[in-house]
Structure 1
């Protein structure tokens, strides 16, 4: 019974995590369908625990399964990597070399001159699918190990480099 409750709760929380990500990414109808499965699984797991409330190991299995489900759901979400990242890069190297090299690798780069505490900088914004985000970080670090990098997640994207080349460009390979 303990193993069943533990396993069911891992599945339940994993599905709940994925449903939440789908909701946040705008996949409402898929998230709604997933939530029906999620609720059914939760009712089954909770029912098993409540039927045997005098068995403390069932409650512990439920709690540990819940925590484990959060970890499993997070790992699955990392693998799915839905959506995009806006990666901002600030570098001391003011030459056009870094933006050009990134463009050669298929990234859409918008760059401009910026001012920092210690003088001029090159600032860049690079939009990338999340599944390529870590690869982009590695590329930037190889080209400029001292670059300042931070990322955010855009809610809406319209126009620009991505509208025509996202599915056909060199990054898709």
Structure 2
């Protein structure tokens, strides 16, 4: 079966897509402090890597195998990113800055289930309402949509917190 050049290319391509997808997910899990799951995935990742690289090295005279390996690597990065996007692991902090001072924006956002800390801030063009919202990455798009409906001109910045402690919302996610 491996003597057929087209089958060999397809196998190498598929192996590298799976390998790099595992690699991408493992790296993300490592960054999110999921050590044991990352270590578990790395076992399968290395086995797949060795098999795929072995196939290429055994047939190094076949340029199509090397091309399949490289293309599989690139596709694996894309597949791994898509998988991580679907998993949406972790939390984000979203900062929202608005000129809507008279509106009840923080309470409207809270009514959608988001925790909001708000305060008055001063920008180049005067007073602003500043809100900081911690939410799961799974709820990120919903939060953006909610803010955009309530204030289409709101300035939104998000970042991933490394760690957090205290607060009513944090107590609820630890349960």
The two structures have a TM-score, normalised by structure 1, of: 0.94
The aligned runs of 1:118-129 (5 Å cut-off) are 118-129=125-136
Name the SS for the 2:14 alignment partner.
Answer: helix
Mapped pair 1:110 → 2:117: yes
Q: Map residues 85-164 of structure 1 onto 2, 5 A cutoff.
A: 85-95=92-102, 97-164=104-171
Question: Structure 2: which 5+ residue stretches go unaligned?
Answer: 1-7
Distance in 2 (alpha carbons) for counterparts of 1:161 and 1:4: 51
User: Which stretch of the first structure deviates more once superposed, 128-137 or 154-163?
Assistant: 154-163
146, 166, 172: which is aligned to 1:165?
172
- Cα displacement string for residues 89-145 of structure 1 (whole angstroms, at most 9, x for unaligned residues): 000011351101011111100000000111100000000000100110000000000
Moved over 6 A (4+): none
d(CA) in 2 for partners of 1:145 and 1:163?
29
Q: What is the CA distance between 1:167 and its match in structure 2?
A: 7.4
In 2, Cα distance between equivalents of 1:106 and 1:75:
27
Q: Which residue of 2, 26, 45 maps to 1:38?
A: 45
User: What residue in structure 1 maps to residue 36 of structure 2?
Assistant: 29
Give, in whole Å, the separation in 1 of the partners of 2:113 and 2:20: 37
Matched, 1:7 2:14: yes
